[in-house]
Amino acid sequence: MSLPRCALWWARHPAGRQAGHRATVCSALRAHVRPLPGAVGRVPAVAAASSSASGGSKAPNTSLFVPLTVKPLGPSADGDVGAELTRPLDKNEVKKILDKFYKRKEIQKLGADYGLDARLFHQAFISFRNYILQSYSLDVDIHIVLNDICFSAAHVDDLFPFFLRHAKQIFPVLECKDDLRKISDLRIPPNWYPEARAIRRKIIFHSGPTNSGKTYHAIQKYLSAKSGVYCGPLKLLAHEIFEKSNTAGVPCDLVTGEERVTVEPDGKQAAHVACTVEMCSVTTPYEVAVIDEIQMIKDPARGWAWTRALLGLCAEEVHLCGESAAIDLVTELMYSTGEEVEVRNYNRLTPISVLDHALESLDNLRPGDCIVCFSKNDIYSVSRQIEIRGLESAVIYGSLPPGTKLAQAKKFNDPDDPCKILVATDAIGMGLNLSIRRIIFYSLLKPSINEKGEKEIEPITTSQALQIAGRAGRYSSKFKEGEVTTMNREDLSLLKEILNRPVEPIQSAGLHPTAEQIEMFAYHLPETTLSNLIDIFVDFSQVDGQYFVCNMDDFKFSAELIQHIPLSLRVRYVFCTAPINKKQPFVCSSLLQFARQYSRNEPLTFAWLRRYIKWPLLPPKNIKDLMDLEAVHDVLDLYLWLRFMDMFPDASLIRDLQKQLDGIIQEGVHNITKLIKISETHKLLHLESMPAGSQSGLSGTLKSQSRRTRGTKTLGSKAAEPHSPEAGEKSLASRLVQQGLLTPDLLKQLEKEWLTQRTEHGKGRTESGSNSKGTRRKKKELDSD
């Protein structure tokens, strides 16, 4: 007979209530329920399974353990069996017993053996005490022990098994730490790819600087193979290889996060495929694989994709293209798979030189110049100043759609186009073929995200400087020699120092938990949020010295954003891996809306999305409008990225819509200086106050800022002037409408609601005029409204 049924039978049996039987039965029950009987010093001898059995691994970060709520017990249908067996408990006596239990050093030490550090021990005790004191009736076993302690028939330490049981209920991770460590063991990544380990691969590393022909030689091998896969870091690069391959008569498919294009008329998969590195298949066999920009294996956020491709691609030959800084790491990683690396070194095809003088003034610009900025405000400022000088410039920055970037690049490269100057961010570092003669660094300070997810502003690295500077004087352009300089004289010596430094060897490769690993984690911790699961996984994970776990802040951001929406774990994981720009509120709210629609089993149709983005959209009238259009383009990208899910049925229609939007954005970027001018006039853009435009070197940052302020024409001087009398007479509402922050229809609706509220409050004040307190209260309410 089980213990609860035995106790219940005894409580209901007439003979059980006789005093003569009580002591005997209670003793038998205590012997049965005490899982940890007898111990030296009254502290129970706990079984040996403690946290120290985890093989000497690091102690977990217990601040990540979020306690679950264990509700106190209510009235039981069987009554309070414990009280019937013994007597009702005195809550004051129980409280004293629990406080004594908490203060016992032996108990605290015993808790530590089970993984309860001071923080967890305190949280578990508070929950345990509340459970005991607030429960209407306790389980019979703990009731009997508490009663015995009250009568000194048991020791306070006998509560520990019940406390530990409760602690494992609110911190379930304590129960399965060893299993979680096994799941998050990332120490032998090559074993994750049995298909690749089953073949003998030939690894060829094409090493060289920008414009050395290393990628060209790898692509030639790719085109001549019977089958192949190209893995690039950007959609633009994948598109370029896709087009180049099909133009050469080699049928090639395209696979990116947002689209899949098959060239065979029957939809059959071609033998060649060009893809973004995250989308490559590690189960399809190929003759040749090309992994471009292999040095990005160290990227804090995306490095895992290069690691996966390097270790997992099933290809007879794997061609790697990138910087020499990655050679040693790749050689070590391939040593662990038993594969040798053949290194082929390339030199730059055209000469490049660092000038001995800085540009110092935009009056010194020449055709073929490219000014590299590291912020949008600098892009706007420089473009405006160039336009003031009667010159025309092309603009390229990261958040522009690929089609717009290509259109701007084509405009700049066209010898018959009057546009001879390019203003760009480091987005030109890869993916675009540009005819640049001279690279001019407007600043040498660049915001970046470190491995901890923290934002830093530091001088660009040697690798970044070489990547950008190398765009000057490309072999295929009309400029056969490249030049590099800075905007400010003080930065020039720092640039030379950066370029002359040896590139530091890459030390480690990125890893990322898979959906399967997260599902296994969730099986053990079913009540834990996905964001918290990721934190615990990363904390428990064990990696070799050649690897690191990639930063997952973006994933966690999305997980927290949609946590309250009911979704299966696998679907939630897919939504969280969708790439979004956290700085765009509309994109973030769209992810939330998409997830909400999906959870309701409501398809996100073409008609629904048109209504959601308020299509048709007009060409931008100012910079804010342009940024809003870029955000809408990102939302359409998000839809296409989620197209594999059954609630996103109209991918082809959305893709056509996106092409139309790309054309509208191109029109806006073509007239960007006009948009900047309008934005300054309407106080939507404040270029004078921007910090990034003057962040040059470390030594001359403040000097160059003051000199630039004095030496160049003041931007938006009208915007800096005091309000004219005419402007001062405009109401707040009219200014909001003019700035695009409020629509006329919305303004009318607000006016109508305000008048309605005034009328209602006026009636209420009249009806309650005899009550002065009521009148004053309603007046306050009206004022606050």
Res 641 pLDDT > 90: yes
The class (CATH top level) of 578-685 is: mainly alpha
**Whether pLDDT at 596 is above 90:** yes
Mapping DSSP onto H, E and C, the string for 49-112 reads: CCHHHHCCCCCCCHHHCCCCCCCCCCCCCCCCHHHHHCCCCCHHHHHHHHHHHHHCHHHHHHHH
Which tokens is 81 given? 């069996």
Domain boundaries, the chain: 62-170, 201-345, 352-500, 578-685
Amino acid in the structure at residue 743: T
CB-neighbour burial class of residue 347 (10 A; exposed 0-12, middle 13-18, buried 19+): exposed
CB of 203 closer than 8 Å to CB of 327: no
The model's pLDDT over 430-480, given as tens digits with 9 standing for 90+, comes to: 878 899 999 999 999 988 776 666 777 889 999 999 999 999 998 878 888
Class of domain 62-170: mainly alpha
The confidence score (pLDDT) of residue 695 equals 37
Question: What percent of the chain has a predicted confidence (pLDDT) above 90?
Answer: 67
Q: pLDDT band for position 683 (50/70/90)?
A: low
Q: 644, 647, 631, 555: which is closest to 596 by C-alpha?
A: 647
pLDDT digits (tens, 9 = 90+) for 320-364: 999 999 999 999 999 999 999 999 999 999 999 999 999 999 999
In angstroms, the CA 411 to CA 395 distance is 10
**Residue bearing tokens 């759609």:** 401
- Range of weakest confidence among 20-24, 89-93, 274-278: 20-24
Report the candidate in 424, 517, 439 with the shortest Cα–Cα distance to residue 474: 439
Average per-residue pLDDT in the chain? 83
Split at pLDDT 50, 70, 90, the class of 765 is: very low
Q: What is the pLDDT of residue 253?
A: 97
Least confident of 13-27, 212-226, 234-248, 649-663: 13-27
Query: Is residue 28 scored above 60 in pLDDT?
Result: no
CATH number, span 352-500? 3.40.50.300
Task: State how far the alpha carbon of 764 is from the alpha carbons of 331, 755, 768, 783, in Å.
Answer: 82, 14, 6, 14
3-state secondary structure of 612: helix
Report the pLDDT value the prediction gives residue 743, as an integer from 0 to 100.
60
Secondary-structure percent of the chain, ordered helix, strand, coil, rounded to 5: 55, 10, 35
DSSP 633-665: HHHHHHHHHTTTSTT---HHHHHHHHHHHHHHH
For residues 288-312, give the mean pLDDT: 97
Query: How far apart are alpha carbons 584 and 632 in whole angstroms?
Result: 10
Q: Average the pLDDT over 571-578 and give the result.
A: 94
In the 3-class helix/strand/coil scheme, how is 571-595 assigned residue by residue?
HHHHHHHCCCCCCCHHHHHHHHHHH
Predicted confidence at residue 112, as pLDDT, reads 93
Tokens, residue 664: 């509208």
pTM for the full predicted model = 0.78
CB of 145 within 8 A of CB of 162?
yes
Across the range 306-318, mean pLDDT stands at: 97
Terminal-to-terminal C-alpha distance of the chain = 69
pLDDT at 483 over 60: yes
Using CA atoms, how far apart are residues 559 and 655, in angstroms rounded to an integer?
Answer: 27
| Fold: same for 62-170 and 578-685 | no
Q: Tokens for 515?
A: 């959906």
Residue 314: enclosing H or E segment and its boundaries?
Answer: strand 314-322
pLDDT score at 769? 46
| pLDDT at res. 49 | 35
Number of neighbours of residue 606 by Cβ within 10 angstroms:
18
pLDDT tens, residue by residue, 72-85:
888 877 778 888 88
Tell me the two tokens of residue 157: 């330490």
- pLDDT tens readout for residues 47-75: 333 333 333 467 888 889 999 999 988 88
Summarize the confidence of residues 511-527 as an average pLDDT: 92
Residue 130 carries which side chain, given as an amino acid letter?
A: N
State the pLDDT at residue 281: 96
Cβ(294)–Cβ(330) under 8 Å? yes
Name every residue whose Cβ is closer than 8 Å to that of residue 53 and which is 6 or more positions away in sequence.
Answer: 178
Class of domain 201-345: alpha beta
pLDDT tens readout for residues 120-172? 999 999 999 999 999 988 989 999 999 999 999 999 999 999 999 999 999 99
- The answer to whether residue 730 scores a pLDDT higher than 70 is no
Confidence class of residue 697 from pLDDT cuts 50, 70 and 90? very low
Question: In the 3-class helix/strand/coil scheme, how is 159-183 assigned residue by residue?
Answer: HHHHHHHHHHHHCHHHHCHHHHHHH
Provide Rg for the chain, Cα atoms: 34
